[in-house]
Structure 1
């Protein structure tokens, strides 16, 4: 029942959130103000009535979720966004928590391509609820930005056909917004722009109702060729030529202001704007002062339209192109922006922390962000222990961050890593070992007992193997696995290279990982009703940690000239791929056809459907044009429907490998690969069978492969070249 006092103005929004998350029991929850500064919440429950007090709606949502996790044993996750609500609200003693930082940032421009390109309102509504319950205050929001670009360019007098030719295909719109390309994989489907404009309004309204202040895209200097004629400069990114206008050109400032004006007209503003004029593209002028002049012109345009404008700048270029972005250039760039107008996003702080390089950014406001996931690759790799250490170091520094962020290029992979980061945002988070037990109990809704012990053992095993990657750099430009890479005929031309790369991904004790897999399968068999949610996802994910590594070892045994076992023509390798695909097919989120069907929902004609299918297929395979050799498999996924695509390419390689003495074999292989890639873009994958039972498939595979994996690792390590066996700094010493 409601208390008699008048509640906070955000109470209705929290009531709605509670109703979506816990159903009928939402009537037993009261939200009240909590006086004081910062992000804080408190709650208590007695006789089935829960009272949550908070300094704002975002903190209230975290308080509600904290209660559900700690006292109802259930958590809202990416993999289980609507778990069953509690039948009764159990008593809870007074509990109060506060945040380390004032802001929690979320998303990356690329996420709107690699994850949410095809989301509708139902998916966004669940995602926004997830954001609120996890304390997100500052989400990047670029849905519908193509409507802004269209309006701005039409107002500049461009013909509709020129504007349409500038806009990219739907899956590539984030890269258009960042200025990396224009026109690629377009045009947009009929009706796309008005539909997405409406969806953007729904998203922004809900985010604001729940206390978030979204960040909207801003101008970068990137313009159509028609506007750049005689006044712009050309630049290149991954083979795409684009045009930018100089900061001294009045058009630069005018377009920067116009972009904000149109956003205000369509959706209002929270005075926060994201622009990265040099994202993976060095400035078109070598003058060290040039970046600063760009900053001044951009900020002038922003403030012409919004006197309260604050610029959110990703520090990715400083890490990715560190040779160019010297201390002198970075200082000249940042000093052109008043401190109160700038928030820096240290985008890859878990791997390449720029705050340490630039001494906490000299006291400017900055956020410590974890990237981890590139392109939507879903190999379960992370460094949970290192996360605690890196974040503690930042929070304890002389110039600590004002915020903590999740800046992954795609969501859904390694959820424990990001959930741990979100919990560390709040004070009094338990130590990692205790947290893993709580995580397992809440994620699978398990009471104390043998099943929870199995789940806890599984997560401790994962956290000491694949989720303890230490100094291994998780980055697509490094070796991240054999299955998804485009085959090269000369794979063994450099002696021991592939063996070295495979060994780098086997830093842990394989028996520990195999035991974790067995424990999780035991949980699935004891609690099969949980397999439809997060447990089923985790069963598929732990298998995705084991089977690709085993497949690589089988590949080496069959094809490496140094192997003494070349006797099966890769039969074991191909069998593992088929088994992995069968398991992945049991999970809708790990099936390629789920992705393409979501894209097709936005079609209003057969022509649109073909264009959307092309975008969906292209992004996760060749990325650009077939054979361009640039971003092939950057967004590679271990998905049912894609595994068979990778398998077909490796069969072509195996056939060519058997005939390497023939002249022109390399050209024949390249031609065959291109034919296969064109066929996938044209036809998509072969139809997949119905889902199946993830628990039964997991049992079949763990029995078939767990011991074989350990044995193969032992054999592999015993035959590493002299000086390699057992010398990897993280390599386990048992089998």
Structure 2
């Protein structure tokens, strides 16, 4: 039976394959499943729905053609004649596959246009994403809703603030920050948002749109409204008992349906990293907020479901006891809420909260906070925790990926996507070796060896949570004199294993994703070199041996790291800033956009508030040498004073003042221009020649 969604799948196939090999699509009845095979150069897909058909296409590509469409894969593929294959079948293990985090729209997609989004939506479809979060265009929704409440365009744009920070405004964390919103931004992104939603819906996805959290412009707040603070930034929230709360919840859904339509899924996180109530006298307040959100949503859309991130239950577990979570959700209809267990690979909440007492929930892998580009993960714990959740008495309705930034560390996210479909999960080592071959579309044993060694090194964190509130590296640490971070703890693998992986990737001599992985693997090596050179420098200085040559060697590694990562366009600060700049239409908007692009990677908030400094932890060309290195140069300058008797406090004060000035200058003007991208393999070879023996010797340093 011909499928009604045939044209959508044909369109994806044309974008992936170049359109030459013919595709036949038929519909199956029943649960989400597919059957796919090729014969005589024709690919035949039978599936229950459009997304299952897209997963079938990807299954054929990986198993019959040996090529996987990952982030960085060059499209369209050069397939030639399709190889014949037996019938390959698949059945979804879960109802839903969720995708994206509010933060992703700030750390990764903030300045994307249609070309980037079209490619990403195709990736979603090939990997079976049923439920993507979709924030693009929401600024226009808020503009319409607040206009109806009497605010002017200027007042609304001031409240919305800088475009790079919109996701945190939508979560109620901040407002009126780093703006105003450029005058044409909302209208242009409404057009883009409509295009994104149209494509997602035609491929069978049910997008999740943002909703009201209680956070309002201060000028609209009635008397007695609360002021709360997130990372030093104050916001105003309406009490859920106020008529304005339900009115705005309804107004925003109404405006959203007018402008973007709806799939009846609404994301709202009223307490994302903020304790709801200061005293036990307010014990009922969170439940009042929950009831007001659901009541307002269903007043505008009787079929509404509230999609809630579980992050507060993890991040502030001391407050969110099981009893408080139960009380928070108790008054809601059973079908009113869908809970995202956000950090399932490291800190799942479902077991502690008894499977959310029967509420529908989704297990998610998070891993990447802020956009950290060092390729570290714990694949074994992720796979094990996922399978444990699926085997639970109250299993999840779906799986998902809730990373704060995308296009980093693809193996982690591809592993979880693969687990969403039926079949005996493969041995992790076997899966990883096949992933390497498929990522590069090669049968080379060298690719398998490289990924085996990556699996034994940077991808084997051994239940160590990858989290920016733990030490990452000296590279992205704000310099101080009062403590020496434990650089050994960040090296959770044997250096020879990563070195072997780097050398194997270099031997492959393949372009595209293989060069991306080569550069990032060598970058991980150089990051640890910087850490251990720092440790040696501090140890020597503490005994009175302040060696200028050691300081110069420490800084030299920053330059070599910058040269290495600058060979990849996706790992360059100027690529990111250029993406922001293309949305500017006058001098003021260009200033705001460039400020946002550089600020979020450095100070995050204001330059005199270090709480979120370096949260993004990007190892990017222009950022390593143009920002991180300059800070450590300042640290070296004041180090003799810090080592002198009684001189530490004065040296730290002088350093802190200089760091503020440096950051202000960087945000305002950026680093000197980064040169043209060099040859990735040549830069990697230089790095391995210069630092390979030293890196391998670190193992002996740790042993002693």
State if a TM-score over 0.5 links the two structures. Answer: yes
Are residue 506 (structure 1) and residue 494 (structure 2) matched?
no
- Name 1:730's counterpart in structure 2: none
- Aligned residue pairs, count: 694
Instruction: Classify 1:714/1:562 alpha carbon distance in 2 versus 1 (closer, same or farther; 3 Å).
Output: farther
1:308 paired to 2:332:
no
> Which residue in 1 is equivalent to 2:416?
421
- Mapped to 2, the partners of 1:693 and 1:80 lie a distance apart of 19
Q: Provide, for residues 531-551 of structure 1, a one-character-per-residue CA deviation record: whole Å limited to 9, x for no partner.
A: 2x2111101110122111111
**TM-score normalised by L of structure 1:** 0.93
Q: C-alpha deviations, 1:377-434, integer Å up to 9, x for none?
A: 1111101111221111111111111100100000111110100111111122432222
Q: Contact between 1:10 and 1:209, CA under 8 Å: does it hold in 2?
A: yes
Show CA shifts across 1:90-113 (max 9, x none). 101011111110100000000000
> In 1, Cα distance between the equivalents of 2:617 and 2:608?
16
Residue 294 of structure 1, CA deviation: 0.9
Paired residue for 2:698? 712
* 1:655 counterpart residue number: 637
Matched, 1:681 2:667: yes
The answer to whether structure 1 residue 352 and structure 2 residue 347 are counterparts is yes
CA deviation map 1:462-487 (0-9, x unaligned):
11111010121211111111111111
Q: Is the 8 A contact 2:134 2:208 kept in 1?
A: yes
1:88 aligns with 2:81: yes
TM-aligned CA distance change 1:187 to 1:301, over 3 Å? same
Aligned with residue 16 of structure 2, among 21, 41, 51: 21
Matched, 1:245 2:238: yes
Partner of 2:652: 666
Question: Is 1:333 aligned to residue 319 of structure 2?
Answer: no
Q: Calculate the aligned-residue CA RMSD, in Å.
A: 1.4
Distance in 1, matches of 2:137 and 2:656, equals 39
Q: CA deviation at 1:566?
A: 5.2
The reply on whether 1:600 has 2:578 as its aligned counterpart is no
The separation in 2 between residues aligned to 1:562 and 1:469, in whole angstroms, is 31
1:143 paired residue number:
136
1:289 equivalenced with 2:284 (yes/no)? yes
Q: Please tell me whether residue 31 in structure 1 is matched to residue 25 in structure 2.
A: yes
Could you tell me which residue of structure 1 aligns to residue 528 of structure 2? 549
Partner of 1:534: 513
Q: Quickly say closer, same or farther: Cα 1:304–1:81, change in 2 above 3 A.
A: farther
1:563 is displaced (CA, Å) by 6.8
- The change in CA–CA distance for 1:81 and 1:278 in structure 2 (over 3 A counts) is farther
Secondary structure in 2 aligned to 1:96? strand
| Shift of residue 664, structure 1, vs aligned partner | 2.4
Residues 1:523 and 2:517 aligned together: no
Asked if the contact 1:626/1:678 (under 8 Å) is kept, the reply is yes
Aligned to 1:369: 364
What is aligned with 2:437? 441
Shift of 1:565: 7.3
For 1:571 and 1:301, locate their aligned partners in 2 and report how far apart those are by CA, in whole Å. 61
Partners of 2:220 and 2:445 lie apart in 1 by: 64
2:452 corresponding residue in structure 1: 460
| Structure 2: runs of 5 or more not aligned | none
d(CA) in 1 for partners of 2:585 and 2:480? 40
Corresponding position of 2:64: 71
- Give CA-to-partner distance per residue, 1:345-388, whole Å, 9 cap, x none: 00011111100111111221110001111011111110111122
In the alignment, what sits opposite 1:495?
none
| Secondary structure at 1:690 match in 2 | coil
Query: After the TM superposition, which residues 97-112 of structure 1 pair with which residues of structure 2 at under 5 Å, given as runs?
Result: 97-112=90-105
Match of 1:699 in 2: 685
Q: TM-score by structure 2 length?
A: 0.97
> Equivalents in 2 of 1:557, 1:259: separation in Å?
57
More displaced 10-residue stretch of structure 1: 334-343 or 279-288: 279-288
The residue number in structure 2 matching 1:732 is none
Give the conservation status (yes or no) of the 8 Å contact 2:494–2:699. Answer: no
SS in structure 1 at match of 2:380: helix
Please say if residues 81 and 126 of structure 1, whose CA atoms lie closer than 8 Å, have aligned partners that are also in contact: no
**Hey, what's the Cα distance between the residues in 2 that align with 1:707 and 1:285?**
55
Alignment of 1:43-442 (within 5 A): 43-80=36-73, 82-284=75-277, 286=279, 287-428=282-423, 429-442=425-438
1:507-537: CA deviation from partner (whole Å, max 9, x where unpaired): 221111111111111112xx3xxx2x21111
Give the whole-Å Cα distance in 1 for the aligned partners of 2:472 and 2:53.
Answer: 40
Aligned equivalents of 2:492, 2:476: Cα separation in 1:
20
CA contact (8 A) 2:346 2:381 kept: no
How far is 1:321 from its partner? 0.6
Distance 1:715 1:709 in 2: 10
| Per-residue deviation, residues 318-356 of structure 1 (Å, max 9, x unmatched) | 000111111221001111222211111000111111001
Deviation of residue 716 (structure 1)? 4.0
Structure 1 CA distance for aligned equivalents of residues 179 and 108 of structure 2 = 19
Alpha-carbon deviation of 1:174?
0.2
Structure 2 equivalent of residue 728 of structure 1: none
Greater than 6 Å deviation, 4+ residue runs: none
Q: What is the distance in 1 between the residues matched to 2:655 and 2:183?
A: 39
Specify every segment of 5 or more residues in structure 1 that has no aligned partner in the other structure, as ranges: 493-497, 719-735
Q: How far apart, CA to CA, are the structure 2 residues paired with 1:384 and 1:283?
A: 34
Provide the C-alpha distance between the structure 1 equivalents of 2:556 and 2:330, rounded to a whole number of angstroms.
58
Q: How far off its partner does 1:24 sit?
A: 2.8
